[in-house]
Structure 1
Amino acid sequence: MIILPDHLLAIADRKAITPLIFDIATCMNLTCPMYGIDTPQEYAHFLAQACHETDRFRTLREYASGVVYEGRKDLGNTQLGDGKRFKGRGIFQTTGRANYMQLGIKKGDAGFFVRNPEFLEQPQYAVWSACEFWSTRSLNDIANHADTDFLKKKYRGKVIDVSPIEYISLTINGGYNGIDERKKFYARAKRVLSP
């Protein structure tokens, strides 16, 4: 399946193709299939999350300063200034020194994104980092469940029953932030990408 800029526009309910939308679509077509993201169902879930995390494909960098991540050891932010330096970037908003370092390791240089965090704002790395996240958490397996299925997910120390869209949202966001919008984008993506 080929993702067109028009698909992204329709999911985001936007009017004009921007260079960022064009570049994201191009990079998705080059990268997603290498990670097995290649069916309408898989793309619907992937694009719904990307649409929310990028403010409808408007940005590849978190708007907030990142100060709230300062000192967050769970993100590997152990040095002064890490919160701002390693704020969310990419189409899934990779956050924290440890996650930037992990992506660098995947590239063969642990410091690649640590030295140059803004590289994750480039569409090729923005999409690639999301595909890495998706793949390492086996989210295609979740995306291919029926929407009516309930899956077990550990959340805040409890095992809960969630739908596939909720499971994926919790995995990407760590909470229910933007869940209604994610569900709306998912429903649109299913319509837009249906054969």
Structure 2
Amino acid sequence: MPITQQQLLQILPNASQVAGVFVSALNTAMGKYQIITPLRMAAFLAQVGHESAQLTQLVENLNYGAPGLVATWPSRFTPALAAQVARQPEQIANIVYASRMGNGPAVTGDGWKYRGRGLIQVTGWTNYQACGAALAQDLLTAPELLEQPIYAALSAAWYWASNGLNTLADAGNLEAITKKINGGLNGQPDRLALYNTALKVLA
């Protein structure tokens, strides 16, 4: 059962500027990856809603100050390096994502090119390559495709299905889903609130 624009706005009220373009993109993506029951849809919409600030942020924000850099990536930033690159998102991305997830070293610029994009942020050369293969798009050459609503939604649904999250959604295990997406439980109260709202709206 596709979601309507009205339902989407009941779940994600801050998406009023973009709901019109996202409703068809989300329905296409959810249909393709079998996110079609109220439990699955509620869990998916709660997670993408949280990750994208209710569909309004499709690119990772790396505009960190020096203290934030040291706190977030203590193994990557000394206080001196953090002070040097603070508030310079491109340099930050190239340091943070250097030589990981299929990216080359910092000088290649891969960290910035393949920074997080989409509703569940696809990050790193390896993930862009796998996602591009699944969606039949050359994301390595055109990574900014993931900033378009249809590919932002399809990439999130692809990630969801690739990580077995429909099964966890069927079990109502939102905590395990968050750990698969986030690595921890950051923002869990917000995710849970969105999930409970979605369940009511989609019931």
Q: Which band: TM-score by shorter chain?
A: 0.7 to 0.9
Answer yes or no: is the 8 Å Cα contact 1:70–1:83 preserved in 2.
yes
Match of 2:103 in 1: 77
Q: Does 1:56 align with 2:54?
A: yes
Match of 2:7 in 1: 7
Distance in 2 of aligned mates of 1:13 and 1:22: 12
Deviation at 1:7, TM superposition (A): 2.1
Of all paired residues, the percent bearing the same amino acid is: 35
Answer yes or no: is the 8 Å Cα contact 2:135–2:154 preserved in 1.
no
Select the residue among 142, 147, 156 that pairs with 1:130: 156
Distance in 1 of aligned mates of 2:57 and 2:46: 15
> Unaligned stretches of 5+ in structure 2?
63-88
Q: Does 1:179 align with 2:179?
A: no
Select the residue among 124, 127, 133 that pairs with 1:96: 124
> Unaligned stretches of 5+ in structure 1?
148-163
- When structure 1 is superposed on structure 2, of 42-51 and 83-92 the one drifting more is 83-92
| Paired residue type of 1:186 | Y
Answer yes or no: is the 8 Å Cα contact 2:115–2:124 preserved in 1.
yes
Could you state the TM-score of these two structures normalised by the residue count of structure 2? 0.78
Aligned CA RMSD, in angstroms, stands at 1.8
Aligned length: 172
Deviation at 1:5, TM superposition (A): 2.1
More helix by share: 2
Distance in 1 of aligned mates of 2:109 and 2:51: 23
- Measured against aligned partners, the alpha-carbon deviations of 1:44-72 in whole angstroms (never above 9, x if no partner) come to 00000010111011121122236253315
Distance in 2 of aligned mates of 1:72 and 1:24: 34
Could you state the TM-score of these two structures normalised by the residue count of structure 1? 0.81
More strand by share: 1
Superposed, which structure 2 residues align to 1:22-61 within 5 Å? Answer: 22-61=20-59
Match of 2:85 in 1: none
